[in-house]
Amino acid sequence: AQTVTQSQPEMSVQEAETVTLSCTYDTSENNYYLFWYMQPPSRQMILVIRQEAYKQQNATENRFSVNFQKAAKSFSLKISDSQLGDTAMYFCAFAAYGGTSYGKLTFGQGTILTVHP
């Protein structure tokens, strides 16, 4: 079975600074995707960024980028130039092409990020 672990329950950052959220995962699958979702106070789940495991280049979406270390099974999210609107709970998630993870997202526990003015 796949597991996703986020070891930081809460993080805080000052506006305009950079913050990194950690995520580790465990799987025996070779073909999979990793995702970061944000959940602002509105509770809506919003896809921030995703990474295909076979791609070595780290994914980037504007101020959001990842550091994907496949051998270490690590998938951290870096938020640059943090904005007040980035305040949210962030979930790391995993989905594979096969095995017991087929057809579903496996989520980590979440990290609450607060951006302070």
Partner 1 sequence: EAQVTQNPRYLITVTGKKLTVTCSQNMNHEYMSWYRQDPGLGLRQIYYSMNVEVTDKGDVPEGYKVSRKEKRNFPLILESPSPNQTSLYFCASSSGILPNNEQFFGPGTRLTVL
Contacting residues toward partner 1, per CB under 8 A:
4, 6, 9, 32-33, 42-45, 47, 50, 52, 91, 93, 95-97, 102-105, 107-110
Q: How far is the CB of 95 from partner 1 (least distance, A)?
A: 3
Report the C-alpha gap between 49 and 96 in whole angstroms: 16
Please tell me what DSSP assigns to residue 98.
Answer: S
Question: Toward partner 1, which CB reaches closer, 16 or 47?
Answer: 47
**Buried (b) or exposed (e) across 24-46, using 16+ Cβ within 10 A?**
bbebebeebbbbbbbeeeeeeee
| 4 vs 66 by CB, closer to partner 1 | 4
**Closest CB 97 distance from partner 1, rounded Å:** 7
Single-letter residue type at 21: L
Tell me the closest approach of the beta carbon of residue 90 to partner 1, in angstroms. 11
